[in-house]
Each structure stands twice: as C-alpha cells, then as structure tokens.
Chain A
Amino acid sequence: MYHTPVLPMGMEARNIQLIIMDMFSSQAILHINKWVLVRIQTAAGYQCSGYVDQNNYWHDGSGGSYSLQHSNYPFEHTNSTTTSNTTASSVHYQQAPNHWSANYGAAVSNVIPTPGSGNMVATTVPISTYPSQNLNGGYSYASSQPPPPGTTSWRGNLSSPLLPSSKAPDDMSKFLNTCAVEKTSTVHNYRLNQIPLDLQKPLKSNLPSGENHEGSGNDTYTNVPPSSLQISQASLNPQQPLQAVSVMDARRVSKMQIPTNPRIASSLALGMPKLDKESSTTNAAAKPAYISVQVPKLHNQLSSSDNADANVKALPPSVCDYVRRCLSRCKDDASRTACQLMLSELIAKAKDDGSLWTKNWDLEPPLPLANSSSDATNLNILQNTVSSITKFPNKRSKSRWEPVAEEKLDSKFAPVNLESSKNVSWAERMAGSRILEGMDNGWTSMKFPLVQQQSTLIKSSEKPVKKQRLFGPLSTTENDSNSAEGGKEPELNTHHSSAITLANSPEEKKKREHRSRRFDKSQESHADTEQFKPKGAGVANIYLRRASAMLLAKNFDDRCGRAVEDMDWDALTVKGTCQEIEKRYLRLTSAPDPATVRPEEILEKALSMVQTSQKNYYYKCDQLKSIRQDLTVQRIQNELTVKVYETHARLALEAGDLPEFNQCQSQLKRLYAEGIKGCRMEFSAYNLLCVILHSNNKRDLLSSMNSLSYEAKQDEAVKLALAVRSAVSLGNYVLFFRLYKSAPSLFTCLMDLHVEKMRFEAIKCMSKSYRPTVPEDCEEWLRAHGAVLAVDSYGELQLDTKASSLTLYMPEPEDAVAHGDANLAVDDFLARAS
C-alpha cells in the first residue's frame, strides 16, 4: 500500500521505474526496472499494450509474487468499487492466463501442486504458486471450477489477485470488475483478500477499508498485518515496485496510469476509457478484443490447474477453502463436528448437482454455525494453514521479532526458499530470492543491500543462466502453471480447447509437461502427507524455522557488520516487560520475546516466591529455570543471578538432583570468578565434596584443592569438606559417618549419595577384620547385602564375619534406570509435567 502514493505518478513504465527507484533507492529495483523496460520493448508481440507488457514482464519475472499484492488490491478495488463489475472479469482472467501462457507457457505448474501440497510448502508456495494460482484459482475459480478442498484456499486467493496484478492496471481493474460481476469471481477476490489480507493486516489502513466484499472480506482486510503485506510484495518480484505501482494504479489511479503509459498503447486504449470512467462497473465491457483472445487460454490454464488439483484432491481448492473457513469458525469440537456433517452434506449435494466445480465457493457464505466475526475465521485459517506466511502475521502481531524484524523476515523467506528447493525447480528458488529482494524493497532502502546480498547468495547457489535469474520469479510462476497444466492437460483441453494455442510451441509444451509432472508428483506426495494435518503443518514450520536459522547463519557469514550483530547476543538481549511473577520454563527455540521476559524486579519477587513456596521440587525447579532463562536473555549477572543459582543449587541438592546441581555449580563458579559476591565458600565446599564423592578423578581433586585460597581453607565448610575427603580417601568410615551426622543438611544431601558405598566398604572391612562376630542392629540392610547373621547365646543378633566376608555384595540400586539418569525416569517426568 505504501506504493499508492507512487501510483499516480507511475503512469509510464519509466516513470514507475523512476518512482520506484526513488522510493527504494535500491539498485536491484533499478535493474528490475531496466529489465522490465527491455522486456516491454521486446514484448511487442503481445496483444496487450504497454501495460499488458508490463504485466507480462511481471509475470515472467515474478508472476506469482505479484499476485499477492495484486490480488489484494484488485479485490479491494473490486470490492470497494462494487461487486457489480463481475461480468467482465472472466474475460480479464482469460487475458491474464493468456499472457502467461503465451509468454511463459508453462507458468502454472508450480502453483498447481499447491492445492495438494499447499500446506506443506505453503510458505514457499505463495510466491511460486501465485502465478499459477492466480491463473487457476482466482480466475478459474470464479469462472468455472470450485477450488480443491482444504489446502487450496491460498491458491485461490492468491491466484485471483495474481491475475489482476499480472495484467496491467487496467486489466486489473477490469479483471476485478469482471470478477465482481460474476459473483463467483467476487468470491474469489474476497477470498484472495482474505488470505493475503490476513497477512497484511497492517495494510488495512492502506487498503481502502473494508468495502471489498460483502461479508467477511473487510474483516480479513483489517486483520492483515503490514508486515505480511510487505512480505507478499517482496515475494512478488524484484519488480514489485512496478507491480505495486500497477496495483495501485489499478485500484485508484487506473485512469491516470493508463493514459500515461505510452507502451500500453493500443490495448490500453480500449480498456482505459472504461477504467477512467469508473473502475467499478464499466471495465468488464471495455476489454473486449484482446481480452477475449486471452480468455480461452486463461481458462485453460486455470482449469488445468484446477483439474490437476482435482485429480490430486477430487475437490476444488475453493471448496477446501470453504470447508476450512467454515470449520475454522467453529468454536468448539461440538460445533465443529456439526459443521463437518453439514459440510459433507453440502459437498455431496454440490457434487450431485454438478455445482461443485462451478459454484463459487469463495463467495459462499459460511455455514450458520460459523462465528460471525471474520477475524476469528481468519485467525483460524492462519493457524490451520501451514504456510509460513500465515505464521508471519501471527508472529508479527506478537512483536516478538520486532527488534530484528528485517532479519527475521528474510530468514522466514529463506526457509521458504530452501523448502521449495527441495521439491521445486530452481526457478522457484529463484522466486524465493526474488522474494527476498522484493521484501527488502518493500521494507526499506536501507536494508536493501543486505537483501541483495542474500538474494545473490541464494542465486549463487544456483547455476541458472543470467536471463533466467532475471526472470526468476516469472519463470517460477510459469513452471507452476505448467505443472498444473501438465497433469490436467486432457481435462483442460476439453474444458477450454481454444485457449492454449497462443503460448504453446510444441517444445514448450513438452517442457512444460515434463516439469509439471515432476511437480505434480512432489506435490501430490506433499498433499497426501500434509493436507489437513495440522501437525504436519507444525512440522513443516519447524523445518522452515530451522532452515531459516541456517540461512540466517549462512547469511551472517557473508554479511558483515549488522547481520553478525543481530546474531550476537548483544542484539538479542532483551529488556523484559512481563509483569507476571510465575512463569513456566520453556526452552527457547527462538529469540526471546520481551513480552514474556520478566525484568529484574519481578524476577526478584519470583525468586522469593519460589523460596517461600510450599510446592514440590519440580515446581520450584521449573520456576527457577525460567528465572534463570530470563536472567540469561537479559544478560543480568549480578548478585541476584548468584542468588538464583545458589537457591537452585541448594534445592537441587536437597532433592538429590545432581545434574541440575552441577549446572548451577558451574555457573556459580563462573559468576564467583567474576567477583560477584555470594556464598562462595559454601559452594566451593560443595564443589569439593562433589569431586571427592562423585568423580574419581584425582587430578580434578588436586586442582580444586590447589585452587583453594588460604582463606578458603580456614572456612568451616571447606574444612568440613576437606575432612570428609580425607576420611574417604583413608576409608575411615567412623570419621565419615561422624561428619555425616554433624554436617549441615545440605552437606548431608551430597554425602547421602556416597553413604551407601561407604557403609558397604565399612561392613566389608569389618567382616574381614573382626572375629568372630559383631553385634548388629540393622538386620534388614545387612541381609540385603548378603551378610550372614546369627543369633548368639544371649539372643542377640550377631554378624558372622567370617562367613559374611565371602558373601557380602553390593546390590544393584533398585531405582537404577538403563540410561543411568534417574531424573529422566517417566514418573519424574510426569510429576514435572503435571
């Protein structure tokens, strides 16, 4: 939306370029612009005038990416303008597809897979898929086929926007109009709006507020966070600026732009007037000639993609969307199941009467059960859809990434790329890089260099020809459409026999088919595994995250300065704002969110809360761990930190949680070494005891003894520890148990772990050296250790030392676990979890 100001100016391609340059001041953009220009010039062959050409370029380069923004815009347009425009839309649609097909031929393929695989690839898909989606879903949906179930929603939405975007603004507007005319189309738009919009909530303001569609569309609009918008834009293409401009044009300035664009020339002329008059209603009629030519193609493509989807899924994506939409509104399981029932009925019915593929599901009002608030729906949708994009908005809203926003975004995109690269052609990857660039553009000129680097990085990994690189996004889209087509070719042909001819040279076709096959395969598998599986989505997201992290790291290597800083703790150090005293420990898997981090004062309270708490150790341990985490992420290292660790260490000792104790101990060692005050002596005594009793490493013992200062040796606790040590090393069990008795409780806790061993040593020693008997009063223990006991003439129990010396043994501890750490035992885990 920020483009809007630009739009008025950007009537001419050149102007647009200039503007873009101004706006973003990024070289990349310039390049793009140039490229676009060139393209335009070369594009002459196309029927469309300059505008169209531009559109084409975009399609070529970034086709898919466009779509998002465009879609949003167009929708808005249409929406705002009115639904009445609908009729013309079909034609427009066709145009767009035609362009695509003609120019790129294959474009759709990548996208196509999306319906099935949508969830999986979701993040990646948006970009790559857009073009195809646009082709398929947006228009096609509107015109002919309902989208495949579930997954497709994205596409449908995306795709519809794409088409408009891809077309010249005029086209766009027309499209929109046309779409509007057909209710289905409007639905599409609406759909589109929803999804993209959701992402782009922030955009809201930019977008003309909610008139888009009748129902929920508005809401969706509002939901979209700005970031997402940007993202989508970015993703669109390097040429986003242009696109954006175009979009803008379409929306608001259409009149102006059209006239201004010299290149648009002929075709424009037709469309223009209408646009000028009123973008809302008139456009549809205006487009006639060239539109008509293209229409068939569009249809074909769209349909093909749809078909492919259908093949994969048997349900059109729009239906899936619809189902999801409906389900997502359900607030609880009961309503959900009810809704499911109703939906299945509905779909069955639709199948029966053949409206399944013809009905515009996007327009279909949600089932009555549904919650009226579209926001909720959107949210749900977001959550449900695996796509990273959806996730982003959420994230954004949390502001978790705020401090490093750009980086994060990049990274997010990156993952997409990585992901996509697995299944998808390099072109898609290219698209990804494009996206990155685009993002940068969208964001700010400042970041641009970085982004560029990134994108170049990505590019560098791929060998593609330069040309391809330039066209990256577009080609991706092509591929997408191709693949879609490939799978569905036969059906498509039947549906729209007339259309395809334009773009398809035989070789092209072949290629396309080949590519599409590849895609379908991967997509299919994706779809199988991922569709409708929220968990799968989660996994995908995890992968994305990881990939993004990796990419981030990679980028860091290449970028200097800022990026490295971002990775650095310094940059990630947060200042907590959370005011809650109690907080569960959750291991961080990403940058900390200040909103969930407690500042020092609160932490202090939390500590005293834990200290006075009556709850069990697991609760306290959990709390202390979260306190420690908060301290760490805020890099607080002072006496409070020491106190927390000391408290935790003591509690751990009490509970016999040695691993946790060791963690605290090592932290404390470091903190003490930094000169922070605390109960240093006490803990060096613990440390000594630990080394003595639990590791048999003489060198460690020596070095820790050697490191004791003179003062330390005078300390009571340390003295005690040293006494214990000497008792142990000499095997003086009497002394040991005396110390054990007299030692402070925490010492006892540490020694506890050694007592059993010492006791056994003692009994062994005694049974060997004492004759004939020793009076005994702990029968149970002795018997458990194989001692031979006898009752003497006075009726007292005696240990038969001679016999026992041969039979004594150390029984296996009963609570021993195979992995050696009793703390990992299931019971404990459950106790902790509860």
Chain B
Amino acid sequence: MMRIRIDNRPAMRIKAVHPLQLKLSFVFLFYLQINSLIYQEEKQSFRTHDSRRGNESVATGVSMSAMAYVSMGEAHRRITDFLFRFSEAVSSQDGAALKPLLAVSSNSALLLSLADALNVFQDWGRLVKQADRNSVQLGEILTPFLRCIQNYRMERFVETYVTFEKSANAFLQEFRNWETAWALDAMYTVAHEIRVLAELADKELASTGKNPEKLQGAGSFLMKVFGSLAGKGPKRVGALYVTSQLFKVYFKLGTVHLCRSVIRSIETAKIFDFEEFPTSDKVTYMYYTGRLEVYNENFIAADQKLTYALMHCNSEHASNLRMILKYLVPVKLSIGILPTMCLLDKYNLAEYTDIVNSLRSGDLRLLRKALNEHEDQFLRTGVYLVLEKLELQVYQRLVKKIHFIQKQRDPGKAHQIKLDLIVKALKWLEVEMDVDEVECIMAILIHKNLMKGYFAHKSKVVVLSKQDPFPKLKGKPVST
C-alpha cells in the first residue's frame, strides 16, 4: 500500500532532476497542500484561533526533498534527530518546541518525513530504547507515538488513533508530574489531535461497517485531561481549552447532556476564574454554551452568551463570526430584534433573509416558504424550532398592518378588527385558515401578550387596546 501511494506522488516521477530543482518543486507542492488542508479544516468546525497549532508546519526544504527516497542513513538520522528533539524539549521544558512534534495531523514536513524514515528504518524500536536509556524515560510515549506517525502516514486511522491514545495516556501521566504549566501547549496539541484522529478513525470504522466508538474514547481521555488540569496549580488555565474540545466531541456525538458536568465545574468551581482563561477559549466556550441554551429555548441566556462570543471573537475570523451569528440571529429574532440586511450579507447568512423580511412585512407565506426551503439546514443546526415560533410574531405584524390600514380608513373603529378581515388577508397570502382557526390564533396572540385587547366571541371581533396594542418584545422572549 505504501508503495502505491509513493508512486502516485509527483515527487517520485522526477527522479533524475537536479536536487535543487527537486527541492524547490517540493516546497511549492507542500505549501499548496498545507493551504488546502487548512482551508478544509476551516470548513469543518469552529476554530479556536490562536497560534497554538498548525503554524509549525512550515516546511523546511531539506526535509521535504528527502521524501522521495530515504536512505537508511538518512532515515536513521531523522529518527534520532526527532528523538533527540523530543527528549530535549522535554528535558528543557520547552513547550513550544515540543508542540509541533506532537501534532500528528498537522501534516508537517517534519512528521511526514519522519514517517517515511520510520518506514525505511524498520528497527526504530531500538533507537527509542537507546534514547530512553540516555535520557528521560520517554519510551512509553515515543514508541506508540512513532507507530502512530507511521499509521497516519499509511492512512490507517483506526490504528493511528489507538496508538496515539496510548501515547497520549503516557504523556498525560508525565504531564501530571510536571508542576509548572510549561507543557500546556503540548497538552493542547494532544487534546486537539486526539479528537481529530478519533474523528478520522470513526469515519474509517463507519465506512467498514463497524461501530464508530473512538470519538467516545477520545471524550473520556479528554475528561481525564480535564481532571489533571482542574486543580489549583498554574495548569488550570488550560481547562477551558480542553472543555472546548470536549464540547466538540459531545456535540458531534449528540451527547450534549454530558456537557453539563463540565460546565458545572467550570462555572462553580472556585479554582476557576473565567476571566483568567485565554480569550479564544472563552469565546469557544461561550459559543457552545450559547448553543446549548438555544436548544433549551432559553433565549435570554443564549443571547448573552452568543453576544459575548461575538464581541470577543477576533474580528478577522469571519467563519467563526458566521458560526456565532448562525445561532445569534434566530435568538435575536425570537426576542424581537431584527438584524440589518447588510449583516446577513456580510456573513453569508442568506437563509435568514426571507425570514427577516417576513417578520418585517407580516408575510406568513414567506416565512413558511423560507422555513420549508432551508428546513434541512435549520434542523441540522437545531434552530428550526426557534424559527418556527416566529410565526406568532408574523401574525402580530400582520394584524398590526391591518390595524393601520383600518385606522386610515375608519379611525372610529380602528380598534375593532373583524375576524373576517384577517381571514381575508390570510387568504391573500394563500394561507387557508377558517374563522375558528384564526380566532384561535388571535386568542393566542392576546394570551401571549403579543397583542393587547380582547376577543369578543359573540361578534367575532378583536378589540384592541387603545394604548400600545402591539407591544414590542424589546429583548424579551414571547411569554409562554
């Protein structure tokens, strides 16, 4: 399998080219690759923006050039080099140096070339042992880790995950013993990697008809990490990052109820001061907890959290902003606050345009159409039920408009709207409803305080209050 893959690489075809040329072409190719990868990932999930990961992948031309063919000596050199760098980073407690060494899925040149070297130099276990003898006891981390690198290179993701988890557990063991937070960055990488690799593994498992369970495993590993961070020590600032990773796992698994325990410990434990955490983590945290509130139809809290996330999110990260807005817009709508069209345009939220318009115009048909059109999307993101409830506001708008027209025509009876009128209006909108049903809607509008007044059953007339007959929500949700 390896062989086939190598053969497919453009690099293999240019064997006779001058080394320098080769080098250059590789650098170019590599950058292309990296960029596309980054792009892909952006689409996938809400990214925590910081400099913690991904940047290390800048290739060094030297290591790239060796990808095509690795001699035994070169392989040996690379492996020992890696081992040396690793143990050096650990012994000098250099988190920044350690971090790139652990980022399996970063596709960094360093690790890719290492993987090639490992394939050539099969007896690398001996080297690990040697290194183990010479320096810190890292064999338990490194042996599975190198195997993981190998597996990843061969796209055997299940094994990749399994080996990585083994290595990560060993790493966590060590990490617990490190008093200072120097390795926090590296831990972040591990936490991120284990989630990404678990997702890959699950995809592979699912494609072979097996039970995708690795993400769950990653979740429990992350819980362990969380436990190691949730203490009084300096490492506690890392807890929120791990929490974010956990959120991602739970949301993906559809087990959001598991979030609660983490949230509770973050919000109630005295060791945590929310302001102390890095901003990017806070934003992520607020984003996810805000989403949870949307599920619970707890609009006020959702509004607060998502607004916080929006305000603190780095304004350069448009995709993150967009993801926040995807939830914030429906929340705001349901508490009666409409966005500007330009905001929707800017963040590519076209699906909400019609909905906002229907709220403006009281066009029930438009609302239903919009909901219908984007049903799948809304269901997926989980805002469908929220949007559906906007219907009452659209009715309100409609009655309000009728009221205005009536006022112009017959100011004396401005506050009495005949039911027939409303039925007729709805008919124009191609919404078939009979008197009873409309009566019911009116009753609900009054009941929910979207309309002030009363309904006279005998005469089938809505009698509106003279003062503020259509109260605005003003940031409050529709009463239930």
Q: A730-B391, A765-B447, A769-B447 are in contact. Are A735 and B254 (CB under 8 A)?
A: no
Across the interface, name the chain A residue whose C-beta is closest to B444. A731
Give Cα distance in the complex from A705 to B382, angstroms.
10
Give Cα distance in the complex from A706 to B379, angstroms.
6
Across the interface, name the chain A residue whose C-beta is closest to B438. A734
- A702 CB contact (under 8 Å) in B385, B391, B436, B456: B385
- B457 CB contact (under 8 Å) in A726, A734, A735, A775: A775
Give Cα distance in the complex from A699 to B296, angstroms.
8
Give Cα distance in the complex from A765 to B389, angstroms.
17
Q: Determine whether A732 belongs to the interface, using a CB cutoff of 8 Å to chain B.
A: yes
Contact at B254–A771, with CB atoms within 8 Å? no
Return chain B residues, CB-CB under 8 Å to A698: 295-297, 382, 385
Across the interface, name the chain A residue whose C-beta is closest to B385. A698
Return chain B residues, CB-CB under 8 Å to A773: 457
Give Cα distance in the complex from A508 to B302, angstroms.
81
Q: A705-B379, A765-B447 are in contact. Are A733 and B457 (CB under 8 A)?
A: no
Shortest C-beta distance, A590 to chain B (Å), equals: 30
Interface SS of A by simple majority: helix
**Which A residues from 775 to 797 make CB contacts under 8 A with B?**
775
Shortest C-beta distance, B114 to chain A (Å), equals: 39
Give Cα distance in the complex from A148 to B447, angstroms.
84
Q: Determine whether B454 belongs to the interface, using a CB cutoff of 8 Å to chain A.
A: yes
Give Cα distance in the complex from A766 to B11, angstroms.
77
- B388 CB contact (under 8 Å) in A726, A733, A762, A769: A726
Return chain B residues, CB-CB under 8 Å to A774: 457
Shortest C-beta distance, A218 to chain B (Å), equals: 60
Instruction: Provide the A697-709 mask, 1 if CB < 8 A to any CB of B, else 0.
Output: 0110111011000
Most buried by B among A735, A762, A764, A766: A766
Across the interface, name the chain B residue whose C-beta is closest to A768. B447
Q: Determine whether A729 belongs to the interface, using a CB cutoff of 8 Å to chain B.
A: yes
Return chain B residues, CB-CB under 8 Å to A770: 443, 454-457
Across the interface, name the chain B residue whose C-beta is closest to A774. B457
Contact at A769–B442, with CB atoms within 8 Å? yes
Give Cα distance in the complex from A401 to B455, angstroms.
75
Return chain B residues, CB-CB under 8 Å to A726: 388
Return chain A residues, CB-CB under 8 Å to B441: 732
Contact at A734–B436, with CB atoms within 8 Å? yes
**Which B residues from 222 to 280 make CB contacts under 8 A with A?**
254, 256
Q: Determine whether B24 belongs to the interface, using a CB cutoff of 8 Å to chain A.
A: no
Instruction: Provide the B436-480 mask, 1 if CB < 8 A to any CB of A, else 0.
Output: 110111111111100000111100000100000000000000000
Instruction: Give the number of residue pairs across the A-B interface with Cβ within 8 Å.
Output: 73
Across the interface, name the chain B residue whose C-beta is closest to A767. B447
Q: Determine whether B346 belongs to the interface, using a CB cutoff of 8 Å to chain A.
A: no
Contact at A705–B440, with CB atoms within 8 Å? no
Interface size of B as a range: 20 to 34
Return chain A residues, CB-CB under 8 Å to B463: 771
Across the interface, name the chain B residue whose C-beta is closest to A703. B254
Return chain A residues, CB-CB under 8 Å to B436: 734
Across the interface, name the chain B residue whose C-beta is closest to A731. B444
**Which A residues from 680 to 721 make CB contacts under 8 A with B?**
698-699, 701-703, 705-706
Contact at B443–A766, with CB atoms within 8 Å? yes
Interface size of A as a range: 20 to 34
Across the interface, name the chain B residue whose C-beta is closest to A707. B379
Shortest C-beta distance, A116 to chain B (Å), equals: 53
Q: Determine whether B18 belongs to the interface, using a CB cutoff of 8 Å to chain A.
A: no
Contact at A733–B440, with CB atoms within 8 Å? yes
Contact at A701–B385, with CB atoms within 8 Å? yes
Return chain B residues, CB-CB under 8 Å to A734: 436-437, 439-440
Shortest C-beta distance, B458 to chain A (Å), equals: 8
Give Cα distance in the complex from A733 to B446, angstroms.
14
Return chain B residues, CB-CB under 8 Å to A762: 440
Contact at A764–B382, with CB atoms within 8 Å? no
**Which A residues from 731 to 754 make CB contacts under 8 A with B?**
731-735
Return chain B residues, CB-CB under 8 Å to A731: 444, 447-448
Return chain B residues, CB-CB under 8 Å to A768: 443, 446-447
Give Cα distance in the complex from A703 to B380, angstroms.
8
Q: A730-B389, A734-B437, A771-B455 are in contact. Are A699 and B382 (CB under 8 A)?
A: yes
Shortest C-beta distance, B433 to chain A (Å), equals: 9
Give Cα distance in the complex from A502 to B110, angstroms.
86
Give Cα distance in the complex from A702 to B383, angstroms.
9
Contact at A765–B443, with CB atoms within 8 Å? yes
Give Cα distance in the complex from A770 to B456, angstroms.
6
Contact at A771–B456, with CB atoms within 8 Å? yes
Most buried by A among B439, B441, B442, B444: B444
Give Cα distance in the complex from A766 to B384, angstroms.
28
Instruction: Provide the B358-393 mask, 1 if CB < 8 A to any CB of A, else 0.
Output: 000000000000000000100110101100110110
Give Cα distance in the complex from A770 to B448, angstroms.
13
Shortest C-beta distance, B454 to chain A (Å), equals: 4
**Which B residues from 420 to 435 make CB contacts under 8 A with A?**
none
Return chain A residues, CB-CB under 8 Å to B440: 732-735, 762
Return chain A residues, CB-CB under 8 Å to B295: 698-699, 702
Across the interface, name the chain A residue whose C-beta is closest to B292. A699
Return chain B residues, CB-CB under 8 Å to A706: 376, 379-380
Give Cα distance in the complex from A698 to B385, angstroms.
8
- A732 CB contact (under 8 Å) in B437, B455, B456: B437
Contact at B379–A730, with CB atoms within 8 Å? no
Contact at B379–A702, with CB atoms within 8 Å? yes
Contact at B384–A705, with CB atoms within 8 Å? yes
Give Cα distance in the complex from A768 to B444, angstroms.
9
Shortest C-beta distance, B423 to chain A (Å), equals: 13
Contact at A765–B444, with CB atoms within 8 Å? yes
Given contacts A703-B254, A730-B389, 9 further A-B contacts (CB under 8 A): A729-B388, A730-B391, A731-B444, A732-B441, A762-B440, A766-B443, A768-B443, A769-B454, A769-B455
Counting from the closest, the 3 A-B pairs by CB-CB distance are A769-B446, A771-B454, A734-B440
- Selected A-B contacts with CB under 8 Å, 16 pairs: A698-B296, A699-B254, A699-B256, A706-B379, A732-B440, A733-B440, A734-B436, A765-B447, A768-B443, A768-B446, A769-B442, A769-B444, A770-B443, A770-B455, A771-B456, A771-B463
Give A residues with C-beta under 8 Å from B. Answer: 698-699, 701-703, 705-706, 726, 729-735, 762, 764-766, 768-771, 773-775
